[in-house]
Structure 1
Amino acid sequence: MFYDTLSNAHGMAHDPFKAIVAPRPIGWIGSRGRDGSRNLSPYSFFNAVSDRPKIVMFSSSGRKDSLRNVEETGVFTANFVSGPLIGAMNASSVAVPYGTDEFAIAGLTPVDGRLVDAPYVAESVAVLECRVTTITTLKDMGGADTDSHAVFGQVVGIHIDESVIREGRFDLALAQPIMRLGYMDYAGIGPIFELGRPKPPTAV
């Protein structure tokens, strides 16, 4: 099958786009408003985009509370979602009025960042403390603004629980990452294997 995305006439029960671009890490974003209120929300559009410097990005479809908070304060945390935290992550996705504390809803322990004025999840095995570098409203191919907004943040501090460090590595088998698929689907990781990069052929 083929369909153009302007008409989006795919004939399926649900749009397959996000299922095709999968899996994606979950951006579990912790932030604080100018009024001091805490917010914790999972975003399905999240990833690392650079390692020199270390920069991550999450995208908000619509002007959600996390976007408002990072615009006001310029900082946020990205919290690692592991298997034991699936229920809490899902609980924090509930739509509630601005100023409602999702940490409390999800039964999680908020901790203030060491380098940024934003809360993080104490129960998370890894946390990135981030300072905003860019917030941009995404444009379509005609140059018109959309209602999607990308937030880029430079990682200034990293927390790692000692329980997931093995042989000098952040061990993903121990950390049990949960990934976002399409629709309402999620997945853990299967067997982990290493794959070395091929070496260029030797000149004759």
Structure 2
Amino acid sequence: MRIDFDPESMAGGSFYKLLTAVVVPRPIAWVSTLSVRSVANLAPHSFFTVSCVNPPMVQFTSVGRKDTLSNVEATGEFVVNLAPEALFEKVNETATDFPPENGEFEAVGLEREPSVRVKPPRVAASPVALECVLHSTLRLGDSTVVIGRVVHASVKEDVLDDGHPEFELLRPLSRLGKNEWGVGGDVLELARTPYEEWRRKQG
């Protein structure tokens, strides 16, 4: 038996809570930006994915109008920092709705480091930073999709295995439902089967 849910008849954020409980796990874009007054903002966004391969692009969604979105629109630059398990509490702290004039790096005690191609700083302790320039935004209802072209990537050596980032070394956080977070878990490895090989196996 199934239970049916109608988003148009559900009050407030009830359907949002349902969506975020079933679209899991969601990787986190820990986005750093600079305001026009050079205040460094840092906030986690759990609607995040790759948009394009060539040229490389990533996207995150701002639900409502937040400082991250305002800064990206004003400056055209941002950095997606990987949110690792080791910084779990710091990532959560940067989700606090600080006033725009309060920089999250200083507020929660995170060290920053300069980026190579863009002005917003990177999180020094994050193992991966994707430096991005704004490609476009798309307004959808109460949310805005932000698409950025990745112009530089920086990865710490200790999360690389033969030059490739390894999931078990990255230990990325993810968001689940309610106030739940995901960390690591079992890794299954299975190569894709070319069609001709699949057809041969069918006899």
- Give TM-score, length-normalised by structure 2: 0.90
Question: Of residues 100, 103, 116 in structure 2, which corresponds to 1:101?
Answer: 103
- Are residues 1:189 and 2:184 paired? yes
1:151 maps to which residue? 146
SS at the partner of 2:74? helix
Question: Of residues 165, 169, 180 in structure 2, which corresponds to 1:170?
Answer: 165
1:52 maps to which residue? 54
For structure 1, list consecutive stretches of 5 or more residues without a partner in the other structure: 139-145
1:143 maps to which residue? none
1:88 maps to which residue? 90
Percent of aligned pairs with the same amino acid: 34
Question: Of residues 23, 35, 38 in structure 2, which corresponds to 1:36?
Answer: 38
1:127 maps to which residue? 129
Alpha-carbon distance, 1:168 to partner: 2.7
User: Residue 63 of structure 2 contacts residue 143 of structure 2 at CA under 8 Å; is this kept in 1?
Assistant: yes
Runs of 4 or more off by more than 6 Å in structure 1? none
Q: Pairwise CA RMSD of aligned residues?
A: 1.9
Opposite residue 46 of structure 2, the aligned amino acid is S
Task: Determine the C-alpha separation between the residues in 2 that align with 1:129 and 1:13.
Answer: 33
Task: Determine the C-alpha separation between the residues in 2 that align with 1:110 and 1:46.
Answer: 22
Alpha-carbon distance, 1:111 to partner: 1.7
Aligned residues: 195
Task: Determine the C-alpha separation between the residues in 2 that align with 1:76 and 1:91.
Answer: 19
1:73 maps to which residue? 75
Alpha-carbon distance, 1:107 to partner: 1.3
Give a deviation string over 1:47-97, Cα, whole Å, max 9, x none. 112222211111111111000000010000000011101011011111111
User: Residue 57 of structure 1 contacts residue 153 of structure 1 at CA under 8 Å; is this kept in 2?
Assistant: yes
For structure 2, list consecutive stretches of 5 or more residues without a partner in the other structure: none
User: Residue 89 of structure 1 contacts residue 106 of structure 1 at CA under 8 Å; is this kept in 2?
Assistant: no
More helix by share: 2
